[in-house]
Amino acid sequence: MQFASVRTKIIEEFRKRLYVIGIIIICMFAIFFLQLINLQIFQGREFSEKSRMNMENNIPLPASRGEIYDRNFSTDKQNIVLATNRPAFNIIVIPAQYKEKNQFYYAIKNICALLQLPYEEILTDLKSTNPYNRYIIQEDVPFDIVVTIATNQDKFPNIMWEDAPVRVYPFNNMFSHVIGYIGSLTKEEYNTYKDVGYKYYQKIGKAGIERQYDSILRGVDGYVRRIVDAKNRTEGEEIGQHPKSGYNIVLTLDYDVQKTAYTALGDNRGSVIVMKPATGEIISIVSKPDYDPNLIISKNNIKIITELNNDKNKPFLNRAIQSRYPPASTFKLVTSIAALEEEKWDPAITRYCPGKYTLKGYVDRDFYCYQAHGSVNLLWAIARSCSVYFYQLGLKLGPTTIFNYAGYLGLAETSGIDIPGEITGFIPSKKWKLKTFGQPWFDGDTVNLSIGQGFILVTPIGMMDFLSAIVNSGVVFKPHCIKEIRSIDNTSVVSVVIPEKLREIPLSPTTLNTIKQGMRMAVVNGTAARLGYLKVQMCGKTGTAQTRSKRQEDVSQHAWFVGFGPYDSHPEKVVAIVVMVEYGIAGAATAVPIAEQVFTTLIKKGYF
Amino acid sequence: MFKTIRSSFQEYDIKLLISIIALILIGIITIYATGFDPIEKVNSGLYKKQLLWFILGIICMFAISRVHYRILGDYSLYIYLVVLFFLILTTIFGAKIRNTRAWINFGFFAIQPSEFMKLATILLLSKYLELRQFDIKRLRELFIPFAIVGVPVLLIYMQPDFGTAMIFIPIFFALLFLGGADILQLISILGVATIALFVPMMLTYIEWSGINISGGFFSFLKGNELLYIISGSLLAVSIISFILYFFFNSKVYRAIYIPSFIISAGLFLSVIIQKFLKEYQKRRILVFLNPDLDPYGSGYNVIQSKIAIGSGGIIGKGFLKGSQSQLGFLPEKSTDFIFSVISEEWGFIGAVIVLLLFGYVLYKGFMIALKTQDKFGMLLAGGITCMIFFHVIINIGMALGIMPVTGLPLTFLSYGGSNLIMSLLSIGILISIDSRTR
């Protein structure tokens, strides 16, 4: 009996424990049921999408990027194309398509050997990207390589190719800064632009017009919907969406003028801007040193890009809008305007120039003029660029007035030109000097300021704006490089750029006439006399900026020329020019001949 | 003659048989689907082999159901030793398929002794636990069960077949539990095992996920010295408190020496496991916890499986229309991930039907164990039910992404002759127990 009860107890215990296991089984099944509901019902749509992404290896059909023409574009003749496309191929891979790592390594190793690429580097790069994304192994691959890959699929499993037209810039360096170039999206760019439809494998304008008008030029990519299995064998194909081409752009730039300016600048570092002040149309904009955009658009040319980036001469810098210099004697125009507008100075007042000016003070200090001009009035002082006259004029005005006028005339503001990356000039102030140098503003600083030396800095495009104000009676239009947007077949005009007023400076006609007269005299019988023979009546002002290093006096000078023509006609006809040459010998010697050549071409092309 | 057959059929639970045959047929249809190449339009023909195993298995099932299960119990040691012999042969001389020596080749077919080892181990353990049912609460009675399970686990681990070796452990604990082992002892053993596994996992995770641990506490842990020190000092604490308990018999000391001994032993074992488990095995468990850690490797399987199941939706994509399986994104689709294929092609409805069928089979096994009057029958029925249950939860759990990827077949459904025959033999034994209980 004792035995039997123990036995019953054991069986009872067994049954109790069996129930525990039964409860565990029920719990597990409940969990599975819930997870099934979760995966198949709640997340069903999401997983369907993922499953579709797995099997749909959509092949993008690249939209053809719009072409860029110069201002002489017309529909009934052969046009000058500044940027176009040529057919080529990309070799691509999607790492997630490989079932086995070894197969992936095998394919990458073979393709690297075929394309002569560094295997290790490609592998490291691949591992850092999303494995479900298309990875471009090499761009711009010739057709015979594609044939090799297509005929040896066993050696190159899951290696694919696609049409990928390559951007071509037929005039290489000539338009490099203004047109810019395109390139693959960087990770930062992708994160910024993915919401506006950019795909990680696409190209984006990196500089210049290509960047500014990327959304107009790029079009919309289409795609082929391709059903593939895990081994990337095709099961079916259909066009998902046809690509939509980008628009063509006609620039305001004139190829011939650009070519002249580009050639005239030669091997100098510097920039030339030619613009119509009446509308803000840029006819030419050149910066040197430059680069060949054709060489750097491809991912294959990282070496060349690195070299260019490390170049001490900074070829990527668009000196026309991204560099600032002391305006030197060209600033005398600002000082003059300030004096005339404030009515503190009669233009007829003469001052005697013995070749230097002595500023009286605790210690007397001499300020020199490049030659002894004798007795000059304001007009002659502008024409001959007499510094001694302006020293005294500046002292009379005081620094604050000059700062204010430089500000009114927009020298420290951006022009809003449609090339990205513009910087502003710099106008100092008394406060700024105290803060930066711990010294008050001295009269000596005012003397320097009045002839555009010292702390003040301007950009060439800023000078162009200032020049526009003189030509246009104070009205400044936003400089712009594009004239119109056309459909891809060029048959219709999609949009025409309407000049936009940037600012209107109230300047009295008398002041402007005096300034223009002074600038005209500089051409007739002054520093820019070399331009006197031109058919167009030119006005101008030279400048020779001394940079800080006084040791190399011959080379450490920047040459300026700002000018326009014709002198006495309606502003509609006027074309203005700013020439800036770094370390040019002197404004008259270096910058003026460049302006001369540009205007010769302008005359030839019938601008006046 | 006919009468005998009819009466013997009446002994069978027809609903159980129908459920099992339904599961196997679903499996064969799915294997047909996975063997189909949508591009080449050919079938690999695996389903024909599975059909053959199915017929063979049904014959074996009926055959074994005619044998009284107690006779199986009497011969359990010999059965165990014979299977163990084949297992040893396989582990040493077996054909190497995908880096694993799990199959032994008999010319026209190959068998996987590790599958049959599961059943043999359950038989022997049940027999042993029945014999020792009055003493089983003593800790030392657990040594022989440990040996019964430990030897095959070690051999299978050496093949190496991690998944199959792992499945013995929950079955073992379930049998000990049903056999009446002391719960505190079981919890202690599980505690030791948990600590022993957790420490190496954590270290691997820290190392792998690239957390900078140069210097300081973790690198000290990595060097094992700290583990030894903690383990040793806890051991000392436990011995002292045990002696105190021995003399004063106060529960306070018991509350100290048991947990400190568990932690001490766990840490000590963790050092051994750290050297014993291969790096990829440790990583695999970690990838289960976070599949995104390795989207190319073992994480790929789980991600693709979840995509397959999830994209099936409510009604599924239809027969032969599952893109995940048909286009080869899903790995091991006829074996480990067959449930994902079913869920993709037949959707939530299909998956629930499979779960319900399994539920019914388990329920029947459970009821058979409950109704049985002798201890051996109870343990055998309970053990077999648990074996099927653990296969189901580990395999389906893996497909659903809530269990680690271990490479275990889904009973009745997955392609594989040995597993199917072994499972049908188990059902035959269940039927034998059932028919003799009525």
A237 CB within 8 Å of a chain B CB: no
Would you put residue A228 in left (φ > 0), alpha (ψ -120 to 50) or beta? beta
Q: What is the 3-state secondary structure (H, E, C) of A506-537?
A: CCCHHHHHHHHHHHHHHHHHCCCHHHHHCCCC
Predicted local confidence at residue B163, as pLDDT: 83
Alpha carbon of A52: minimum distance to chain B alpha carbons (Å): 8
pTM of the model: 0.62
Alpha carbon of B400: minimum distance to chain A alpha carbons (Å): 7
| Integer Cα distance of B326 and B306 in angstroms | 15
- Between helix A101-115 and helix A143-151 the angle, nearest 10°, is 150
Contacts 24+ apart (CB under 8 A), B235-238: B235/B260, B235/B261, B235/B264, B235/B268, B238/B264
Alpha carbon of B330: minimum distance to chain A alpha carbons (Å): 9
> For residues A358 and A574, is the Cβ–Cβ distance under 8 A?
no
Strand, coil or helix: A375: strand
Structure tokens at A33: 């049921």
Which A residues in the span 191-230 are in contact with B, Cβ-Cβ below 8 Å?
A: 227-230
Structure tokens at B258: 């048991």
Alpha carbon of B425: minimum distance to chain A alpha carbons (Å): 22
Question: In 3D, which of A588, A579, A466 has the Cα closest to residue A526?
Answer: A588
Residues of A in contact with B296 (CB under 8 A): 95-96, 98, 101, 104, 131
| Integer Cα distance of A337 and A107 in angstroms | 71
> For residues B28 and B43, is the Cβ–Cβ distance under 8 A?
no
Residues of A in contact with B308 (CB under 8 A): 51
Instruction: Report CA torsion sign: A463, A465, A468, A469.
Output: negative
Residues B115 and B235 both lie in one domain: no
Task: Provide the percentage of residues in chain A whose pLDDT is more than 70.
Answer: 96
Residues of B in contact with A6 (CB under 8 A): 134
Query: How far lies A364's CA from each of A197, A395, A454, A550, B268, in Å?
Result: 67, 15, 19, 21, 91
Exposed, middle or buried by CB within 10 Å (0-12, 13-18, 19+), for A465?
Answer: buried
A98 CB within 8 Å of a chain B CB: yes
A50 CB within 8 Å of a chain B CB: yes
Residue with tokens 């002892």: B185
Predicted local confidence at residue B296, as pLDDT: 60
Asked whether the beta carbons of residue B306 and residue A39 sit closer than 8 angstroms, the reply is: yes
**Dihedrals φ, ψ of B406, to 5°?**
-120, -10
Predicted local confidence at residue A552, as pLDDT: 47
Question: In 3D, which of A113, A102, A109, A97 has the Cα closest to residue A145?
Answer: A113
Alpha carbon of A45: minimum distance to chain B alpha carbons (Å): 7
CA angle (B430 as vertex; B426, B432 as ends), nearest 5: 115
Structure tokens at A311: 């170049």
Query: What is the domain extent for residue B222?
Result: 197-276
Closest CB from A22, A32, A229 relative to B400: A32
Query: How far lies B244's CA from each of B247, B249, B256, in Å?
Result: 5, 7, 10
Q: Which amino acid is present at A350? A: T
Residue B36 lies in a domain: yes
Residues B269 and B307 both lie in one domain: no
> For residues B326 and B36, is the Cβ–Cβ distance under 8 A?
yes
B348 CB within 8 Å of a chain A CB: yes
Asked whether the beta carbons of residue A37 and residue B307 sit closer than 8 angstroms, the reply is: no
Residue B191 lies in a domain: no
Task: Provide the percentage of residues in chain A whose pLDDT is more than 90.
Answer: 43
Residue B282 lies in a domain: no
Q: What is the dihedral of CA A375, A376, A377, A379, to 10 degrees?
A: 160
DSSP annotation of A571: G
Which B residues in the span 386-405 are in contact with A, Cβ-Cβ below 8 Å?
A: 386, 389, 393, 396-397, 400-402
- Who's near B419: CB < 8 A, 6+ residues apart? B112, B115, B409, B411
Asked whether the beta carbons of residue B307 and residue A50 sit closer than 8 angstroms, the reply is: yes
Structure tokens at A218: 């790029």
Predicted local confidence at residue A550, as pLDDT: 46
Asked whether the beta carbons of residue A101 and residue B297 sit closer than 8 angstroms, the reply is: yes
Q: What separation, in Å, do the N-terminal and C-terminal C-alpha atoms of chain A show?
A: 130
Predicted local confidence at residue A1, as pLDDT: 45
- Exposure class string for A170-186: b at 16+ Cβ within 10 A, else e: ebebbbbbbbbbbbbbe
Mutate to test the interface with A, among B307, B396, B433 (most CBs of A within 10 A): B307
Asked whether the beta carbons of residue A48 and residue B386 sit closer than 8 angstroms, the reply is: no
Alpha carbon of A149: minimum distance to chain B alpha carbons (Å): 21
Predicted local confidence at residue B101, as pLDDT: 82
Residues B71 and B146 both lie in one domain: yes
Alpha carbon of A188: minimum distance to chain B alpha carbons (Å): 23
Asked whether the beta carbons of residue A17 and residue B348 sit closer than 8 angstroms, the reply is: no
| Integer Cα distance of B130 and B124 in angstroms | 10
Residues B24 and B101 both lie in one domain: no
Residue B370 lies in a domain: yes
**Shortest CA distance from B373: residue in chain A:** A11
Residue B86 lies in a domain: yes
Residues B71 and B49 both lie in one domain: no
Q: What is the dihedral of CA A467, A472, A478, A481, to 10 degrees?
A: -80
Residues B266 and B311 both lie in one domain: no
B295 CB within 8 Å of a chain A CB: yes
> For residues A560 and A579, is the Cβ–Cβ distance under 8 A?
yes
Segments in chain A below pLDDT 50: 1, 549-554
Closest CB from B39, B358, B378 relative to A233: B39
ipTM at complex level: 0.88
Residue with tokens 């700013």: A578
Residues of A in contact with B331 (CB under 8 A): 99
Residues B74 and B174 both lie in one domain: yes
Closest CB from B295, B348, B385 relative to A36: B348
Residues B417 and B299 both lie in one domain: yes
- Who's near A395: CB < 8 A, 6+ residues apart? A443, A446, A447, A450
Task: Give the pLDDT of chain B (438 residues) as one tens digit per residue.
Answer: 454 555 555 567 889 999 999 999 999 999 998 888 776 677 788 899 999 999 999 999 999 999 999 999 999 999 999 999 999 999 888 877 777 788 888 777 788 999 999 999 999 999 999 988 888 888 788 889 999 999 999 999 888 787 888 899 999 999 999 988 888 888 888 888 888 777 777 777 766 655 544 445 555 555 566 777 777 787 888 788 778 777 877 777 777 777 778 888 888 787 777 777 777 667 666 665 566 666 666 677 888 899 999 999 899 888 888 888 887 778 888 888 999 999 999 999 999 999 999 999 999 999 999 999 888 999 999 999 999 999 999 999 989 988 877 778 999 999 989 999 999 999 999 999 998 876
B131 CB within 8 Å of a chain A CB: no
Asked whether the beta carbons of residue A50 and residue B180 sit closer than 8 angstroms, the reply is: no
Closest CB from A15, A29, A95 relative to B370: A15
Residue B192 lies in a domain: no
- Exposure class string for B322-357: b at 16+ Cβ within 10 A, else e: bbbbbbbbbbbbbbbbbbbbbbbbbbbebbbebbeb
Q: Could you give the number of structural domains in chain B?
A: 3
- Who's near A51: CB < 8 A, 6+ residues apart? B307, B308, B310, B311, B323, B324, B329
Closest CB from B180, B310, B323 relative to A44: B310
Contact pairs from chain A to chain B, CB under 8 Å: 146
Residue B426 lies in a domain: no
| Integer Cα distance of A369 and A329 in angstroms | 11
Which B residues in the span 209-238 are in contact with A, Cβ-Cβ below 8 Å?
A: none
Predicted local confidence at residue B1, as pLDDT: 44
Residues B201 and B162 both lie in one domain: no
Query: How far lies A45's CA from each of A38, A55, A133, B311, B401, in Å?
Result: 11, 16, 21, 7, 18
| Integer Cα distance of A150 and A208 in angstroms | 38
Residue B136 lies in a domain: yes
Which B residues in the span 70-109 are in contact with A, Cβ-Cβ below 8 Å?
A: none
| Integer Cα distance of A393 and A342 in angstroms | 12
Structure tokens at A558: 């920047």
Strand, coil or helix: A251: strand
Asked whether the beta carbons of residue A40 and residue B310 sit closer than 8 angstroms, the reply is: yes
Structure tokens at A484: 């119109």
A295 CB within 8 Å of a chain B CB: no
Instruction: Report CA torsion sign: A330, A390, A514, A536.
Output: negative
DSSP annotation of B329: -
DSSP annotation of A488: T
- Who's near A528: CB < 8 A, 6+ residues apart? A522, A538, A540, A541, A542, A561, A563, A588, A592, A595
Residues B41 and B88 both lie in one domain: no
Residues B72 and B48 both lie in one domain: no
Question: In 3D, which of B57, B59, B118 has the Cα closest to residue B416?
Answer: B57
A23 CB within 8 Å of a chain B CB: no
Q: What is the CA radius of gyration of chain B?
A: 24
B309 CB within 8 Å of a chain A CB: yes
| Integer Cα distance of A575 and A592 in angstroms | 15
| Integer Cα distance of B224 and B201 in angstroms | 14
Residues B322 and B367 both lie in one domain: yes
Question: Is cis: bond before B200, omega within 30 of 0?
Answer: no
Alpha carbon of A105: minimum distance to chain B alpha carbons (Å): 12
Closest CB from A48, A96, A227 relative to B311: A48
Closest CB from B133, B306, B358 relative to A10: B133
Of B219, B247, B276, at which residue does a domain stop? B276
Of B276, B305, B326, at which residue does a domain stop? B276
- Who's near B77: CB < 8 A, 6+ residues apart? B124, B127
Mutate to test the interface with A, among B183, B190, B311, B330 (most CBs of A within 10 A): B311
Element at A381 (helix H, strand E): helix A378-384
> For residues B358 and B366, is the Cβ–Cβ distance under 8 A?
no
**Shortest CA distance from A22: residue in chain B:** B366
**β-bridge partners, B164:** none
> For residues A46 and B309, is the Cβ–Cβ distance under 8 A?
no
Predicted local confidence at residue A10, as pLDDT: 81
